[in-house]
Amino acid sequence: MHCKALTTAFWLAAACSTAAFAQDRKDYRPCEAYQSIGAAHMDADGAITLYIHTLPPGPIGEGELHYAPDDPRYQEIVTHLGGIKPGETKNVRPWC
Q: Between 61 and 2, where is the model more confident?
A: 61
Sequence spans of domains, the chain = 2-91
Residues paired with residue 38 on neighbouring β-strands, in sequence order: 52
Taking residues 57-78, report their average pLDDT. Answer: 94
Q: How far is the C-alpha of 54 from the C-alpha of 60, rounded, in Å? A: 6
- Each residue of 16-47: pLDDT tens digit? 545 555 455 667 788 888 889 999 999 999 99
**Torsions phi, psi for 86 (to 5 deg):** -55, 135
pLDDT tier, 2 (very low <50, low <70, confident <90, very high otherwise): very low
- State pTM to two decimals: 0.70
Averaged pLDDT, 59-63: 90
